[in-house]
Homo-oligomer: A and B are copies of this chain.
Amino acid sequence: MRESTALDRMICFQLYAASRAMTSLYRPHLDPHGLTYPQYLVMRILWHDGPTTVRDLGRTLRLDSGTLSPLLKRLETQGHLRRERGTHDERTVWIHPTETGTRLQTDIGDLSHALACATGLTTDELHQLHTLLHRARGTAPTPPGGTTA
């Protein structure tokens, strides 16, 4: 298969392609549960942190309400979470995992190990990659939804 030399040298294209390839590795594990990858990320945060707000989800995932609002509405329709307008500050919306949503965690199980292996990288290389990605992202200007420095 031909490789475009020009593209081959672009870090950005490598990121773009690798990200989509990795997401497609998750798909067969998530599809049976009716979850998309971004929805799975939201559920992971709920499993890990418990009830949170739309604002904090956006900060953590670097997504704005334009993306999150419809996504959360779909997760609510599926019965995985409940949205509730805050009482103290009525601008914020709290997201609570439901029992159904919590049960998903054990149903899906731990995907990270299987998928780390699927990359074919060693533990050391995965750690290197992780560090490089985090640093590359950390220096970048504020992503959408983020707080302005």
Minimum CB–CB distance for A54 against chain B, Å:
14
Stretch of A69-77, A81-89, A91-99, A125-133 that contacts chain B: A125-133
Residues of B with C-beta under 8 A to A137: 14, 17-18, 21
- A13-28: which have CB < 8 Å to B? 13-26
Chain A: interface residue count, which band?
35 or more
Residue A144 lies at the interface, judged by CB distance under 8 Å to chain B: yes
Residue A106 lies at the interface, judged by CB distance under 8 Å to chain B: no
Residues of B with C-beta under 8 A to A22: 11-12, 15-16, 136, 140
Other A-B pairs beyond A6-B44, A11-B149, 17, CB < 8 Å: A1-B146, A3-B140, A6-B48, A7-B45, A7-B60, A10-B44, A10-B112, A11-B126, A12-B23, A14-B134, A14-B137, A16-B22, A17-B133, A18-B19, A21-B62, A119-B135, A120-B138
